[in-house]
Amino acid sequence: MLKSVNLFSLTALFVLASACTQGDGPEEPQKPEVPENLVEMPSGLQYFDNDVGTGEVVEAGVMLRTHYLGWVIKDGTKDLYHDWSKDSTKLQWLVDDSYEANRPYIFTIGQGEAIKGWEEGLIGMREGGTRTLIIPDSLAYGDEGVGNDVPPNSNLRYVVELLDLRRHAIPFEVPVDARREKTPEGVEVIHVEEGEGRMPNKGDLAVFHVNVWGVADTTLYNSTVEVEMKQTVPVGVSPTIEGLDIGLLRMKAGGKARLIVPPSLAFGNKEEVNGVPPGTTLMLDVELFEVRDAPNEDF
C-alpha cells in the first residue's frame, strides 16, 4: 500500500531549497561584452572600430589630423569596451581631450611622433572613422608616466576620430636585394618594387608620383605626394629633370624606383633652381602608376 504524501511538508522543502539557492552568496561576475570586431595584437594592443569611415586607408608615411579622448585605465577594470564618454564614473580617469580646446593633433604616422599604441593601432583605419584603442603601458608611457596625469605603468584607452589625412613624403625603404642598374647617361636606377605593367617609350604618357631629395642631406625639394597631385607627362619630351625621364624609361607601370641623378642631368652646376643649390646630386623616389599611349603627335 502506497503511503500518502504530505503536501505541506513537500511545499516547505521546496521553499527551503529555493531559499538556499537564492541566498546572499557571491554572484558570478558578468563577463565584459566584447565587440565582434575587436582585434587583439601580439603586442597586447586591442582595438575596434566604432565607425569604419569611408575615406582612404592609413599607412606609414601618411599625415593624420585627429580628435581624441584619452583615459587612464584604473582599478583593474574589465569594463573596456562600452562608451566611456557617457559614463560619469569614468570622468575622473579622463586625462586627454582634444575636443575641449578644439585642437586636433596632426602627426605623421611611422615617424615616432605619437605613442607606439597609436602608431600600431591606427594603421589600416579609414579616413572619417572612429577607433577605440586599448593600449598596454609598454606601448604608452611605460614606467615613466607623464606627470600627475598618467602614473607609471598605466594602461590607456583612447577613442580617436580620424578627421582627414594626407600623404607625407618619406624616403623609400630599399630592399637589400633590390635590382640596380646604371644607364649610359649616368643615372643609377634602384628598383625598389618591380612593376608588372608596360614600360614607356619616348612620348608615352607616364602617370607618377615623385619626391625630389638631395642626396647629401636628404633635403626634400619637391613632392607631388604632399600636394596630392600625380604628374601626367610625355616621357622624354622637354623634361624639367632629364634624369627623371631617363629613369622612367627603365621602369614598368606599378613599380617604384629610386633614381640617383647627377647635376648634369638635373639642375646643373651654375645657379640655384627651384631652391636646389648648384651642383646638387638628386635622389628621386618615383612611383609609376600607369603608362598611356603617346598622343598622336610626332616626337
Q: Are residues 43 and 85 located together in one domain of the fold?
A: yes
Give the pLDDT score at 166: 75
* 3-class state of residue 38 by DSSP: coil
> Angle CA(224)–CA(246)–CA(207) in degrees, nearest 5?
40
Domains in the chain, number: 2
Give the pLDDT score at 297: 58
Q: Are residues 155 and 130 located together in one domain of the fold?
A: yes
Task: Name the least confident of 69-78, 110-119, 184-193, 272-281.
Answer: 69-78
259-269 residue pLDDT tens: 999 999 999 99
For the cut 50, the answer to whether the pLDDT of residue 7 exceeds it is no
> Angle CA(41)–CA(45)–CA(46) in degrees, nearest 5?
85
Q: Does a structural domain hold residue 161? A: yes
Q: How confident is the model at residue 30 (pLDDT cuts 50, 70, 90)?
A: low
Q: Are residues 227 and 107 located together in one domain of the fold?
A: no
Q: Does a structural domain hold residue 90? A: yes
Highest averaged pLDDT of the listed ranges 16-30, 131-145, 226-240: 131-145
Domain end among 105, 139, 167: 167
Burial of 8 (0-12, 13-18, 19+ CB in 10 A): exposed
Q: Does a structural domain hold residue 80? A: yes
Domain end among 113, 133, 167: 167
Q: How confident is the model at residue 16 (pLDDT cuts 50, 70, 90)?
A: very low
Domain end among 135, 167, 199: 167
Does the reported pTM lie above 0.75? no
92-104 residue pLDDT tens: 899 999 999 888 9
In percent, the amount of the chain with pLDDT more than 90 equals: 60
Kindly state the cell numbers that stand for 160. 580617436
Q: How confident is the model at residue 32 (pLDDT cuts 50, 70, 90)?
A: low
Task: Name the least confident of 124-128, 164-168, 191-195.
Answer: 164-168
Give the pLDDT score at 24: 53
Q: Does a structural domain hold residue 17? A: no
Distance CA 65, CA 183 (A): 42
CATH of the domain at 83: 3.10.50.40
For the cut 90, the answer to whether the pLDDT of residue 227 exceeds it is no
Distance CA 22, CA 19 (A): 5
Give the chain's mean pLDDT.
86
Contact indicator for 236, 202 with CB cutoff of 8 Å: yes
Contact indicator for 190, 182 with CB cutoff of 8 Å: no
Domain of residue 280, residue span: 179-292
For the cut 50, the answer to whether the pLDDT of residue 14 exceeds it is no
CA distances from 166 to 55, 140, 270 (A): 11, 25, 35
Q: Does a structural domain hold residue 260? A: yes
For the cut 90, the answer to whether the pLDDT of residue 18 exceeds it is no
Give the pLDDT score at 6: 43
Mean pLDDT score, 47-64:
91
**Beta strands per DSSP E along the chain:** 39-40, 46-51, 62-72, 94-97, 105-108, 130-135, 156-167, 179-182, 188-193, 205-214, 220-223, 231-234, 256-261, 282-292
